[in-house]
């Protein structure tokens, strides 16, 4: 499997504190079937990670993994805060693309207010950066206006949810919205957003298999979500078609989630 969103670099952001913790995180990833991790440190007003630092630390981590004989490759990338990304030169943003491909991981804002979010995303896309939207299920702005994500996806952006959102780590509302996005075919990729081997470990398949008990048909999409789409993202090749229809629950959704149905 390929994990497109992981905080694995030592001492760069709120991920591993040192190389030992980085290696421990990668060992866990290898143990759950992940063979490629994309290092996506925060790039924001608070954590101004430089592309040159990312490349240097990715090389150092891969060297250590080779010494430890851990069969996982770490690729370079970044999780770019949208407002901060607007201030970066295109050359800097391109250096933060996932695995050197055409796609940039844009962090869906976690603040309650995100004025101008749609304009900012479209501005970045208009500058030639193909966007993967990180954890939209955790964004209050996306949950308040579910039709926004649909419109962005219709314009060619990809939606990437966090596996632990499906297990309830971020609360009931986030989990329910993540499930609904899966039902609506608005999820192209599932990532770990791992930060630590123990406190916030990597993992993809187990969360999806558990969720498939509630969403019949999801199990038929696991390879597409965790390998086929991320492989195309890294290679810059066309995103493969969804292999089956989106999974559905039996009961209709109400309230917040019902607004997305009415917007279709």
Q: State both tokens at 232.
A: 């195309």
Residue 54, Cα to own-chain centre: how many angstroms?
A: 18
Q: Which H or E run contains 76? A: strand 73-76
- Cα–Cα–Cα angle for 190, 6, 28, rounded to 5 degrees: 95
Domains and CATH numbers, the chain: 2-263 (3.20.20.140)
Q: State both tokens at 168.
A: 């309830």
Query: Would you place residue 260 in the very low, low, confident or very high pLDDT band (cuts 50, 70, 90)?
Result: low
Tens-digit pLDDT profile for residues 51-98:
999 999 999 999 999 999 999 999 999 999 999 999 999 999 999 999
259 pLDDT more than 70: no
Give the integer Cα–Cα distance in Å for 224 and 231: 9
pLDDT of the residue at 161: 99
Contact 61, 19 (CB under 8 A): yes
Q: State both tokens at 2.
A: 């390929």
Q: Look-up: residue for tokens 């630590």?
A: 196
Tens-digit pLDDT profile for residues 209-255:
999 999 999 999 999 999 999 999 999 999 999 999 999 886 655 66
Q: How many CB atoms lie within 10 A of CB 63?
A: 10
Average predicted confidence (pLDDT) for the chain: 94
Q: Is the dihedral of CA 76, 142, 213, 246 positive or negative?
A: negative
């Amino acid at each position: 499997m390929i994990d497109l969103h992981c905080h694995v670099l030592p001492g760069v952001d709120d991920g591993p504190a040192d190389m030992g913790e980085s290696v421990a995180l990668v060992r866990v990833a290898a143990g759950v079937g992940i063979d490629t991790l994309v290092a996506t440190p925060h790039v924001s007003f608070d954590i101004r990670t430089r592309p040159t630092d990312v490349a240097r630390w990715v090389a150092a981590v891969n060297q250590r993994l080779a010494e430890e004989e851990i069969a996982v490759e770490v690729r370079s990338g970044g999780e770019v805060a949208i407002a901060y990304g607007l201030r970066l030169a295109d050359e800097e943003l391109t250096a933060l693309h996932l695995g050197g491909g055409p796609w940039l991981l844009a962090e869906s804002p976690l603040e309650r207010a995100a004025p101008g979010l749609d304009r900012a995303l479209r501005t970045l896309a208009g500058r030639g950066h193909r966007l993967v939207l990180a954890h939209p299920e955790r964004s209050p702005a996306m949950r308040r206006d579910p039709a926004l994500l649909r419109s962005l996806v219709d314009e060619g952006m990809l939606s990437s949810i966090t596996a632990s959102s499906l297990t309830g780590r971020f609360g009931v509302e986030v989990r329910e919205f993540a499930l609904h996005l899966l039902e609506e075919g608005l999820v192209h990729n599932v990532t770990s957003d791992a930060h630590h081997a123990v406190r916030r470990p990597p993992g993809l398949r187990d969360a999806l298999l558990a969720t498939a008990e509630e969403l019949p048909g999801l199990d038929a999409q696991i390879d597409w979500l965790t390998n086929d789409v991320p492989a195309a993202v890294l290679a810059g090749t066309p995103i493969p078609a969804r292999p089956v229809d989106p999974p559905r629950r039996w009961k209709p959704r109400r309230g917040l989630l019902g607004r997305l149905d009415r917007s279709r």
